[in-house]
Chains A and B, each alone.
Chain A
Amino acid sequence: MRVASLGPLLGLLALMIVATLLNHDFLTVSNLSNVLTRAAFSGIIAVGMTFVIVSGGIDLSVGSMAALIAGSMILIMNALSTALGPGVLTIVLGMLAALVIGGLAGLFHGAVITRGRIEPFIVTLGTLGIYRAVLTYLAQGGAISLDSAVGDRYGPVYYGSMLGIPIPILVFTAVALLGGLILNRTRYGRYVQAIGSNEQVARFAAINVAGVKTMTYVLLGVCVGLATILYVPRLGSATPSTGLLWELEAIAAVIIGGTALRGGSGRIWGTVVGAVLLVTIENVLNLTNIISVYLNAAVTGFVIIGVAFFQRGRR
């Protein structure tokens, strides 16, 4: 039981050892920092997703939501840039807008799921289509590009670093620590686990089930906003393929990390390991030529099924 719960971490270490043996470039600071930076986007979303899944829900829309937030944020920043100039204020307001849009999208999900009593799978399958279609419409099928003057000031959010550590990694770390604290050490986190473990018992124990569940989607929406804020300066544009399949990466990270898909129990550190593991697989395939990098998704798929196989007896 104890060892089994360390499974994802042991898997990651094993993969890293194999990777180092195959290519010594793997263990360089620049490569590891590259891996972690890439893991930050899906990882931050996956931390939010952990709350949703532990409470017994699911959100399939996060990739589309990220695309819509990216497009909207760029449009807002461009508009503010003409009015206020390409300064810090423009960027901060744009970022705030991203977080608010994410939170509102989550609020919408939560309200429809709890008040409207519709399965979260169905609600977010619907919004998955809606968000991306709206972005595609806003972009008229092409790309929404960030004003280059704003882009220059905004760039450091992705490319910059503090104490030698890239900003996305720092933000990812902070989100993971905060998420772990909330899930394990606050009333709210306890309620999330109680609802996912047995919603009826929670209801009978006078817990505001609808409110707590709605809040998980809001938290996830804010996490998507945050991930998008970090991601946009990388390319400086939003297209209909922005954030494609992020929902699968995020859900896979949560499941690989040992959170039960049916809810009730979960752990943030596992989700972090899951997110890093997924990016590491891709990285290893890139660095070595044993398996074609085109088969990346297949390898990931086998890993997900394999992890589920080893964890099936735990509950």
Chain B
Amino acid sequence: MPTDAMTERLSTGSAIRFDGISKSFGDIEVLHDVTFDVQGGSIHALLGENGAGKSTLMKVLGGYHAPTRGRVVLDSTPVIFRSSRDAEAQGIVLIHQEFNLAEDLTVAQNIYLGHELGGALLDDAAMRRGALDVLARLEVRLDPGTRVRDLAVPMKQLVEIARALSRDARVLIMDEPTAALTPHETATLFALMRRLREDGVTILYISHKLDEVKAVTNRVTVLRDGEVVATADTAALSTTQMANLMVGRELEAMFPPRNAPGREELLGVDGLDVPGWSRDVSFTLSRGEILGFAGLVGAGRTESIEGLIGLRPHRVRGVRVRGRAVRLRSPADAARAGVVYLSEDRKGKGLHVNLGLRPNLTLMTLEHYARPLLDTRAEDTALTRAAQTFGIRTGRLDVPASSLSGGNQQKLALAKILEVHPEVVILDEPTRGVDVGAKQEIYALVGDLARQGKGVVVISSELPELLGLCHRLLVMHEGHVVGDLDAAGLTEQDVIQYATGLRGRTNGAGRGEHVPA
């Protein structure tokens, strides 16, 4: 590549136009006719709730997905990327939310991975110099010979950014880059982003942290359910207005009516610490109550619950189930005490997708079918009954779980944990990847559980879901419970303010910017 061409590129960041982009995965369209412009050499924020389509849109731009309809226009030339390599050749680099680093290679080797310098033999000295240069631009003091495995998470983030810079990026896509950074590191990153903008680099910036968006970006585009709801100058919007644009839909009819919860305490958790994730989490759950756990991704909700039922190392002052002190060292202890948990990771932790429906359903209650040989006929009866009760729709019952739709898989997973006849049911993102119809059925089921006098905990990143379903919300921020709120009269904006640390108790390293209630 000629050097002067590169310099020229660096001086003019590209203008991008998304022109009627639609993207479908199978039957589900996740982006609908997305159209907006990004000015060259600006920092442009992309906002939206989880599942709004931000990451998908950025993967279209980064060459990871081809759009189903529409096109990307780069500096008034339509471009078609067949792979991320094509996009990188045009100077568009996506920095992933999850790190894409080869842990056992050094920083310099990672920065040049796939673009190594040298001929038949690698020119390690040149790569080391290049890595030093690019790290210096980032004002990061780091030996390029360090193995990535030995770096802390924020440093890995900076190495990812350094790698993008070494590719002469004209367009940098950052997907929640500050999720793992401390306030100080975040400040360094923002200073760098501003410098890059002055160099003419165009930055697309995805974040849930609205105060950061307010601080560092020029323009904002808000996506909701795969559609653009607004594009505006950042200066023209308050963080509250941004939050309003992100949510703002009415799903009242989706949710079952809420009966008043009973007085008996079913579950009491006192002072739960999960090292690295959460500190001093305490809460109670009453008979017939639906308690929501709100918070941003990484706030420590899932990890706290996994700690509670013995799936992670943890410390806790006390756990009470129906007033009796219990120790939960494993999911088996929890199930015996009447507490069951359904993971957010349905394919990885919730269901055996390669196995049939029958072994999935009865896995936690096999002792009822062992006489001592397993009575498969009784299992089949249970499956037929569960399919009816939970509305699991499938042509045949002797198929692997993988052949069910997401919604039906989720209903099967729910049926499985409810076979135990628990008192406390903890559901983590119960409607993730589920269509609207199945969502409604799952909400109805949660409502039924509460009416039957069980206690239900729902962890969800979808605020409308939590507000529509729950009696009470616990909001977590950076590992702490910052709000214990009655859901009646609560708005999404209130919750977002707690979840983003703008309001509520911020223990430890708070960001010091409090908005009065």
Binding site for B on A (CB under 8 A): 181, 185-187, 190-191, 193-194, 197-198, 200-208, 264-265, 315
- Determine chain A's interface SS by DSSP, over half rule: helix
CB interface residues, B 308-356, toward A, < 8 Å? 311, 330-332, 334-335, 341, 343, 345, 348-355
Please pick, from A194, A265, A315, the residue contacting B363 in the complex, using a CB distance under 8 A: A194
Tell me the smallest distance from the CB of B227 to a CB of chain A, in Å: 35
Nearest-neighbor residue (CB-CB) of B362 within chain A: A190
**Are A186 and B355 within 8 A (Cβ)?**
no
**Are B359 and A201 within 8 A (Cβ)?**
no
Q: B416 contacts the other chain (Cβ, under 8 Å)?
A: yes
**Are A190 and B374 within 8 A (Cβ)?**
yes
Residues of B within 8 A of A191 (CB): 366
- How distant is the Cα of A181 from the Cα of B370 in the complex, in angstroms? 12
- How distant is the Cα of A203 from the Cα of B355 in the complex, in angstroms? 16
Residues of A within 8 A of B513 (CB): none
Nearest-neighbor residue (CB-CB) of B379 within chain A: A190
**Are A203 and B331 within 8 A (Cβ)?**
yes
- CB contact under 8 A between A204 and B354, given known A181-B373, A186-B373, A187-B370: no
**Are A201 and B349 within 8 A (Cβ)?**
yes
- How distant is the Cα of A191 from the Cα of B330 in the complex, in angstroms? 16
Q: Please count the residue pairs between chain A and chain B whose beta carbons lie under 8 angstroms apart in the complex.
A: 69
- How distant is the Cα of A145 from the Cα of B350 in the complex, in angstroms? 55
Q: A201-B350, A202-B363 are in contact. List 10 more A-B contacts (CB 8 A).
A: A185-B373, A190-B366, A191-B366, A194-B355, A198-B353, A201-B349, A201-B352, A202-B352, A204-B349, A264-B354
Tell me the smallest distance from the CB of B111 to a CB of chain A, in Å: 31
**Are B359 and A190 within 8 A (Cβ)?**
yes
**Are B334 and A206 within 8 A (Cβ)?**
yes
Q: B444 contacts the other chain (Cβ, under 8 Å)?
A: no
**Are B350 and A206 within 8 A (Cβ)?**
no
Tell me the smallest distance from the CB of B440 to a CB of chain A, in Å: 26
**Are A197 and B343 within 8 A (Cβ)?**
no
- CB contact under 8 A between A197 and B355, given known A190-B363, A204-B311: yes
Q: B367 contacts the other chain (Cβ, under 8 Å)?
A: yes
Residues of A within 8 A of B331 (CB): 203-206
Which has the most chain B C-beta neighbours within 10 Å: A186, A190, A202? A190
**Are B311 and A198 within 8 A (Cβ)?**
no
Residues of B within 8 A of A197 (CB): 352, 354-355
A-B contact pairs, 30 of them (CB 8 A): A181-B373, A186-B374, A187-B367, A190-B374, A193-B359, A194-B352, A194-B355, A197-B352, A198-B348, A198-B353, A200-B345, A200-B348, A200-B349, A201-B348, A201-B349, A201-B350, A201-B351, A201-B352, A204-B350, A205-B331, A205-B364, A205-B416, A206-B331, A206-B332, A206-B335, A207-B332, A207-B363, A208-B330, A208-B332, A315-B354
- How distant is the Cα of A193 from the Cα of B459 in the complex, in angstroms? 30
Q: B512 contacts the other chain (Cβ, under 8 Å)?
A: no
**Are A186 and B372 within 8 A (Cβ)?**
yes
Residues of A within 8 A of B345 (CB): 200
Residues of A within 8 A of B353 (CB): 198
- How distant is the Cα of A204 from the Cα of B376 in the complex, in angstroms? 23
Residues of A within 8 A of B416 (CB): 205
Which has the most chain B C-beta neighbours within 10 Å: A187, A194, A207? A187
Residues of B within 8 A of A186 (CB): 370, 372-374
Which has the most chain B C-beta neighbours within 10 Å: A191, A194, A201? A201
**Are A204 and B332 within 8 A (Cβ)?**
no
Tell me the smallest distance from the CB of B209 to a CB of chain A, in Å: 30
Tell me the smallest distance from the CB of B154 to a CB of chain A, in Å: 28
**Are B374 and A185 within 8 A (Cβ)?**
yes
Tell me the smallest distance from the CB of B191 to a CB of chain A, in Å: 41
- How distant is the Cα of A206 from the Cα of B333 in the complex, in angstroms? 8
**Are B354 and A198 within 8 A (Cβ)?**
yes
Tell me the smallest distance from the CB of B377 to a CB of chain A, in Å: 12
Residues of A within 8 A of B349 (CB): 198, 200-201, 203-204
Tell me the smallest distance from the CB of A194 to a CB of chain B, in Å: 6
Tell me the smallest distance from the CB of B288 to a CB of chain A, in Å: 25
Nearest-neighbor residue (CB-CB) of B331 within chain A: A206
Nearest-neighbor residue (CB-CB) of B353 within chain A: A198
Which has the most chain A C-beta neighbours within 10 Å: B352, B366, B369? B352
Residues of B within 8 A of A190 (CB): 359, 363, 366, 374
Residues of A within 8 A of B363 (CB): 190, 194, 202, 205, 207
Which has the most chain A C-beta neighbours within 10 Å: B330, B345, B353, B354? B354
- CB contact under 8 A between A187 and B366, given known A198-B348, A200-B349, A204-B341: yes
- How distant is the Cα of A190 from the Cα of B366 in the complex, in angstroms? 9
- How distant is the Cα of A194 from the Cα of B354 in the complex, in angstroms? 9
- How distant is the Cα of A198 from the Cα of B345 in the complex, in angstroms? 12
- How distant is the Cα of A193 from the Cα of B400 in the complex, in angstroms? 14
Residues of A within 8 A of B330 (CB): 206, 208
- How distant is the Cα of A273 from the Cα of B353 in the complex, in angstroms? 28
Please pick, from A185, A193, A204, A208, the residue contacting B343 in the complex, using a CB distance under 8 A: A204
Residues of B within 8 A of A203 (CB): 311, 331, 349
**Are A187 and B374 within 8 A (Cβ)?**
yes
- How distant is the Cα of A190 from the Cα of B360 in the complex, in angstroms? 10
Residues of B within 8 A of A187 (CB): 366-367, 369-370, 374
Please pick, from B332, B352, B370, B374, the residue contacting A198 in the complex, using a CB distance under 8 A: B352
- How distant is the Cα of A208 from the Cα of B366 in the complex, in angstroms? 13
- How distant is the Cα of A96 from the Cα of B369 in the complex, in angstroms? 33
Nearest-neighbor residue (CB-CB) of B330 within chain A: A206
**Are B364 and A206 within 8 A (Cβ)?**
yes
Tell me the smallest distance from the CB of A134 to a CB of chain B, in Å: 36
Residues of A within 8 A of B374 (CB): 185-187, 190
Residues of B within 8 A of A206 (CB): 330-332, 334-335, 364
Residues of B within 8 A of A193 (CB): 355, 359
Nearest-neighbor residue (CB-CB) of A208 within chain B: B332
- How distant is the Cα of A185 from the Cα of B369 in the complex, in angstroms? 10
- How distant is the Cα of A265 from the Cα of B373 in the complex, in angstroms? 19
CB interface residues, B 349-398, toward A, < 8 Å? 349-355, 359, 363-364, 366-367, 369-370, 372-374, 376
Residues of A within 8 A of B372 (CB): 186
Tell me the smallest distance from the CB of B239 to a CB of chain A, in Å: 37
Tell me the smallest distance from the CB of A187 to a CB of chain B, in Å: 4
- How distant is the Cα of A39 from the Cα of B353 in the complex, in angstroms? 35
Residues of A within 8 A of B366 (CB): 187, 190-191
- How distant is the Cα of A136 from the Cα of B354 in the complex, in angstroms? 45
CB interface residues, B 72-129, toward A, < 8 Å? none
Tell me the smallest distance from the CB of A1 to a CB of chain B, in Å: 11
Tell me the smallest distance from the CB of B371 to a CB of chain A, in Å: 10
Which has the most chain A C-beta neighbours within 10 Å: B363, B367, B370, B373? B363
Tell me the smallest distance from the CB of B235 to a CB of chain A, in Å: 47
Nearest-neighbor residue (CB-CB) of A265 within chain B: B354
- How distant is the Cα of A203 from the Cα of B334 in the complex, in angstroms? 12
For the complex of A and B, list the 7 residue pairs with the smallest distance between their C-beta atoms, beginning with the closest: A206-B331, A206-B332, A187-B366, A206-B335, A185-B373, A204-B349, A197-B352
Tell me the smallest distance from the CB of A112 to a CB of chain B, in Å: 21
Residues of A within 8 A of B376 (CB): 185
- How distant is the Cα of A190 from the Cα of B361 in the complex, in angstroms? 12
Residues of B within 8 A of A201 (CB): 348-352
- How distant is the Cα of A205 from the Cα of B352 in the complex, in angstroms? 10
- How distant is the Cα of A264 from the Cα of B359 in the complex, in angstroms? 12
- How distant is the Cα of A206 from the Cα of B332 in the complex, in angstroms? 4
- How distant is the Cα of A205 from the Cα of B343 in the complex, in angstroms? 10
